Amino acid sequence: MELAYIPSPSSGVLYLGPVPLRGYAFCIIIGVFVAVWLGNKRWVARGGRAGTVADIAVWAVPFGLVGGRLYHVITDYQLYFSEGRDWVDAFKIWEGGLGIWGAIAFGALGAWIGCRRRGVPMPAYADAVAPGIALAQAIGRWGNWFNQELYGRATDLPWAVEITSSADGREPGTYHPTFLYESLWCVGVALLVIWADRRFRLGHGRAFALYVAAYCTGRFWIEYMRVDEAHEILGLRLNNWTSILVFLLAVLYIVLSARKRPGREDVVEPGVSDGDAASGGEADGADEAGEAVEKDEAEASDGKKEADGAGQDSKDGAGSAKKN
């Protein structure tokens, strides 16, 4: 008999009158807002303009959602296209099923488009938003709790999650809450990247690469604990192999990037002044007007000095002539 466990919601949908509020979608939305908020603060601190992160996120987020869903559907196609399944369910993203690797890949493509349109370097943008992405994942994982998914082996530990649903082959019982493990790990990754970025002044995409490498480390052992159906290669789940490959690529990037481009970018958004960074460009006119006034005052002062000098010279000349 279990003395303690984490209960699962009886339903993943809450109704505000006739409007359904799905827990999974709500967690994703909150995660996006947190990522943009933190990314904006880090971007401004590095000399960028307030609002740039949100503008680029308009491209990155939709691409990321599409990529995440595509990765999930492709790697778990049997859930949607096998006998007795309805392929229309592949479009029901609110029911869960986003692959982080597809989300990152397609999200990066969307971010690249947004960066090109704003004229900012993609690596610098990635560094700014890296901790926020980790926190967004930490929040988004609680969407799996609402859907009673992403759990590990059976256990009677006090922090086990109780699964009550028997849909899609689930067996009611208490299991390792791998969604919780990954959520906590992602919070740790975010803190690690923030600390390392301040300590070593990471630049040129290395903060983002650190996030990727650290996340892959945790994802490997968390994935190994899961018991839901998945494709395997040589006894390891597909996502385990993906974690290994992506981890190695991230570490390789950190090493090569540090050798080729040490240090951090001096300018992350060309044409941005201190006033732009602080107020998002609202102070442009005031700054320019102030500079113009100062310039006019300086010119007037110089003109006055020249006039005084000329008057003094004339006076001296007249006095000298009178004396002679």
**Residues in binding site:** 141
Long-range contacts of 12-20 (CB under 8 A, 24+ apart): 12/146, 12/147, 12/148
CB 296 within 8 A of CB 74: no
Cα 108 to Cα 9, 56, 115, 145, 208, distances in angstroms: 34, 10, 10, 27, 11
Say which residue the tokens 């102070």 belong to. 283
Structure token pair of residue 237: 């789940």
Cβ contacts of 27 within 8 Å, gap of 6 or more: 139, 140, 141, 142, 143, 146
At 169, list the tokens: 């082959």
For CA atoms 76, 81, 83, 84, the dihedral sign is positive
CB 138 within 8 A of CB 150: no
Whole-number Å distance between alpha carbons of 122 and 108: 9
Using an 8 Å Cβ cutoff, are 253 and 126 in contact? no
- Nearest partner of 143 among 14, 237, 15, 18, judged by Cα: 14
Beta strands (DSSP E) in 103-224 are 161-163, 173-175
Burial class (CB in 10 A: 0-12, 13-18, 19+), 13: middle
